[in-house]
Copies of this chain bind each other. A is one copy, B any other.
């Protein structure tokens, strides 16, 4: 016997595999740092200088727990969105909030619906609480909301996951279309509208729904547009009855104090966000140009990453991801066909894209060596 712990039947049944290998672990395995870190959709243009200053100031206060209510941040978010403080819960990134939402709503054996190849961490949480994952294929490299909702009705789903814009493909849908589609949402089914990349999307993608709409919970993050992935701050917007339920299960003192300060400062610097948006737009074009020069086609993107169609199957894309890593460039790719014909490259500063431009032909040459 190596532990007295008697695991629950559910815990004993869960796989021990780790959802993602982080870039640091990949660097340890290859024995060298990456020249360009373009795989995790991090925002290499960085957070607002005001957010950096806020974290540096908070460092000397770090002996104090953070405010468990995240009061100041929620006040600022309420003003930003024109809603009530009781419409907002703050958590350790969308990942943490998704886990809490699944815990609140999904009992063992109950169904959720998501797209085949959509955000795997949501599936990790659903599996972790014994939920049943029902999937619907992408349609033209986009999540197919009408099909998701139809499946939800068939399987009596508790939750439907839908990201707009989408990760990993970068596609986006008109907000008016999303809102109209919700007429088909079954009663008792909640739509998770993951807007992690919302700060990069065109105005037209914003979904015209009241924050109190009972059918939807919107997830937002400071990891992407605001460049604070390492801080771990996300939030959800929904009706107060749903928001207050998070207080039943969340880790109340779980927020890093400096992260709270950083998010507040970042939110108050919308000029920096506009600057980042411009840089991202430029970088998307640059990635498309670098890909095109090697015969790879960029898909349209409303995010801070670009899916490059490698013109082959998943095996070829996987080989290219591995070859790029050997050339010092960290990228990732979609998990399932047909999306896995692509590799996914995050936007970053010029030096990173220069490294990509240098590495891509060399990586491709590794795949197709001259005989």
Contacts and interface: CB of A to CB of B under 8 A. Distances in A.
State the main secondary structure of chain A at its contact with B: loop
Interface residues of A, number: 96
Interface stretch (A44-52, A76-84, A164-172, A317-325): A44-52
A209 to B, nearest CB: 12
Interface stretch (A196-204, A237-245, A293-301, A358-366): A237-245
Contact of A255 (B37, B47, B232, B258): B232
Interface in A157-202: 158, 185, 187-191
Copies of the protein in its oligomer:
2
A92 B254 contact: yes
A207 to B, nearest CB: 15
Contact of A68 (B18, B103, B251): B18
A310 interface: no
A67 B11 contact: no
Contact of A69 (B3, B24, B247, B251): B24
A369 interface: no
A338 interface: no
A228 B63 contact: yes
A64 B247 CA distance: 28
A231 B254 contact: no
Nearest to A22: B68
Interface string A119-157: 001000000100000000000000000000000000000
B103 A11 contact: yes
Interface string A68-109: 110100000000000000000000110110010001111100
B6 A69 contact: no
A4 B256 contact: no
Contacts of A42: 63-65
Interface stretch (A54-62, A267-275, A283-291): A54-62
A277 to B, nearest CB: 15
A162 to B, nearest CB: 14
Contacts of A185: 4
A230 interface: yes
A243 to B, nearest CB: 9
Contacts of A107: 8-10
A252 interface: yes
Contacts of A51: 62
A84 to B, nearest CB: 13
Contacts of A44: 63
Most chain B CB within 10 A, of A28, A68, A106, A248, is at: A248
A212 B3 CA distance: 8
Interface in A1-29: 1-11, 14-16, 18-20, 22, 24-25, 28
Given A22-B68, A66-B230, 7 more contacts: A4-B185, A25-B67, A40-B65, A42-B63, A55-B59, A59-B59, A63-B230
